[in-house]
Chain A
Amino acid sequence: MFKAMLIKEFILVLRDKHALAALFIMPAIFILIMSLALKETFDSERALLKYAVVDLDQSAQSAKIRTFLAENRVMQERPVTIVDDADCKMALSGDLHFVLTIPKGFAENYALEEPVGDLLLLSAAADVRPEMLTLFKSEVVTSVMQLRFEKMKAELSPFLPDVAISQLEALDFNGEDIVKVRFDAMQADEKPTSTQQSVPSWIVFGMFFIIIPMSTIFINERRQNTLMRLSAMNISVPALFAGKIVPYIVINQIQVWLMIVVGIFIVPLFGADALTLGDSLAGLVLVSLGLSLAAVGTSILIAVTAATVEQATTVGGIINILLGAIGGIMVPKFYMPQAMQEFANLSPMSWGLEGFLDILLRGLGPEAVITEFLALAGFGAGLLLVAGIVFSHKIRRGI
């Protein structure tokens, strides 16, 4: 019996081009478009300090300074052409915080005990806060110190035994070895990339779009008295619901993994960052199952209560967009004011998104998403229960 219902539901969805577009193509396109559209925004938002470099020396050493600074994720070099002071002022009046000038002769000057003239010149924007200046300045100083250390090591190497050299190498600059930073959930410098944000968001959004095919099929079944016929064939309401729940959970899972494939393999082809999966496959499965239950529960309740297909697709579409807007799908939650972020927690889409971000962004395990899973599963089960009561009542009234 169950197999027959499963096969029937799959065939009906597979033959419904609009449903396929809503379930698979729409979220894939959203993922692609939003990953590309928000790439610059996300990249620049991650960088707290924006700067330009005027490299008048054009030496290997000046290039190393630039590389060192670029490796810092909170800083971003902007390609700005600065020829004179006027250009510099203009750049700093925009969104640049600093302009670092590397004078000609830096390569010869940087290791001298007393450098000739200014070794480096740092221009700061008027609104730069002292802590930002301190941070940037210390990064620049560290980069010069590293250059000096490398030079010293190179000069001393011929005269030192291997043991001493290895000890010197152990002193090499590596901030990660000295201070291990553990980021709390979405610290300011650990916001998701556009792909890491877009893929989970539009997976969640797309999963709830099963409202359209499910309600269309269900209402047509009701309208044509197919459900009445099924009841007359001894199909109970729980069996009828199970025949809907399982196929759409499977469809949801196909959506999730297809969108992940899009994030990993297709999005990078267009120049955006590839999606990186966390270490917890179980966590991903748990979140996506919870989301499926929530989406299926919402869909069945709408299908049961709506009088017509038009009503179901309109109401379903509006609910989907509202849940998405509230839940941080369309506007990431970290852009929202605190009050709105708390309001966002009312949306099951937000629970699902947080679960995905826990796995995909924060690298957490399944234990971290149990709360989200239980909330989503509970939400879905609650709606299914209400739908069951409403539908049983309707059946008794003659559907």
Chain B
Amino acid sequence: MISIKNLIKRYDDLLALDHLDLEVGKGVIFGLLGPNGAGKTTLVSILNGLTSFQEGEIEVFGLPLSKEITAIRQRTAFIPQSLALYENLSVIENLRFFAGIQKITGATLRHNLDYAISVNRLQPMLEQKAATLSGGQKRRLNIAIGLLNNPELLYFDEPTVGIDPDGRNEILETIRSFKNDAKTVIYTSHYMPEIEKICDEVAIIDRGRIIRQGLLETLLQEERADSVVIELLHADETQLLGLAQRYEDVEVINAVTLVMHRQNSAKMGMLLNALEAESVAIKQISYGTTNLEALFIRLTSSGVSDV
């Protein structure tokens, strides 16, 4: 579905994407994770033809992106993080406008409108002005607009920002349901539990490169039992760095997180004693990377602040 080889994108002196390679298969819900500035948005923008790139090859649906962007766009949808809709138009007016500019008419329009409305449960509020909708309803309308061309591939950029847990779950269920319709989804988010909940595959991007990619379950299994994450109540980062220098395989993630790689009981005991001697209180010890968040923390040096 998507094939990216050796992609390079520079903003003046800043290397945003650094020889990035990525493969996404058909019909998967694909999570794209990374800290702020890692290159997620740039990558999604390039894939939507909104940003140019300097080097590399991209194919979507087997078509070269740089030459066939118009044809590719007709089969894809981009659902931005912000509510890219018109607050002063009603729900149905918004849908009709975005369908109209994509030249969707007749039976196709009726079919696609019905699909977008039913999947997002917008029927009761069709005549309501978008400005009067709740945060979750607006998000659903935002998604519905993306479904009007019945896309095979959807890009979601943090679609659940700023809504309550119920609304978030509804949206996640909607996105998950796209799998049944054989749609492919590229999903970027900072919420690790969301990615875990809906994604089949994950790629972690950091400093413009994909540093890990694979099936979520496989990634977690590979990382499991290989490391220990120690979360602290409070500590001084300098103090922790001093400790890390004394112990091989101990990495300071941030002021309250340490990871010990290739752990064994003896080394673990010594580390815990040292922490106690330094009066550093321990909040939690996780044996093995048991969830995506821990994996993310371990793989990205600045991860926690973006989680």
Contact = CB atoms under 8 A, between A and B. Distances in A.
A-B complex is real:
yes
Interface of A: 1, 3-5, 7-8, 11-12, 15-16, 220, 223-226, 228-235, 395-396, 398
Given A1-B103, A230-B101, A232-B73, A224 B85 contact: yes
Interface of B: 45, 48-52, 70, 73-74, 76-78, 80-89, 93, 96-103, 145, 149
Contacts of A234: 70, 73-74, 102
A12 B102 contact: no
A80 to B, nearest CB: 59
A226 B100 contact: no
Contacts of B97: 4-5, 7-8
A49 to B, nearest CB: 58
Contact of A233 (B87, B96, B102): B102
A12 B101 contact: no
A398 B84 contact: no
Contacts of B88: 11-12, 15-16
Interface of A is mostly: helix
B51 A226 contact: no
A228 B102 contact: no
Contacts of B96: 4
Contacts of A230: 101
Given A396-B51, A398-B51, A229 B80 contact: yes
A7 B88 CA distance: 13
- B contacts with A: majority SS: loop
22 contacts: A1-B101, A1-B103, A4-B97, A5-B101, A8-B93, A8-B97, A11-B88, A15-B88, A228-B84, A229-B80, A229-B84, A229-B98, A232-B48, A232-B73, A232-B78, A233-B73, A233-B149, A234-B102, A235-B101, A396-B51, A396-B52, A398-B45
A224 B88 CA distance: 13
A265 to B, nearest CB: 32
B60 to A, nearest CB: 13
A206 to B, nearest CB: 22
Nearest to A235: B101
Contacts of A1: 100-103
A224 B84 contact: yes
Query: Which of B45, B48, B50, B145 has the largest number of chain A CB atoms within 10 A?
Result: B50
Contacts of B101: 1, 4-5, 230, 233, 235
Contacts of A232: 48-50, 73, 76-78
B133 to A, nearest CB: 14
Of B77, B86, B98, most A-chain CB atoms within 10 Å: B86
A356 B22 CA distance: 63
Given A7-B100, A224-B84, A234-B70, 11 more contacts: A12-B88, A15-B88, A16-B88, A223-B82, A225-B82, A228-B84, A232-B50, A232-B73, A395-B50, A396-B51, A398-B50
B89 A11 contact: yes
B85 A226 contact: yes
Contacts of A398: 45, 50-51
A16 to B, nearest CB: 7
Most B CB contacts (10 A, CB to CB) among A225, A235, A396 go to: A225
Top-5 shortest CB links A-B: A4-B100, A229-B84, A232-B78, A225-B80, A226-B84
A5 B93 CA distance: 11
Nearest to A233: B102
B220 to A, nearest CB: 33
A1 B105 CA distance: 10
Contacts of A16: 88
A232 B98 CA distance: 11
B83 A8 contact: no
A31 to B, nearest CB: 29
Contact of B83 (A224, A228, A233): A224
A226 B86 contact: yes
Nearest to B47: A232
B86 A12 contact: yes
Nearest to B98: A233
B175 to A, nearest CB: 18
Nearest to A230: B101
B98 A228 contact: no
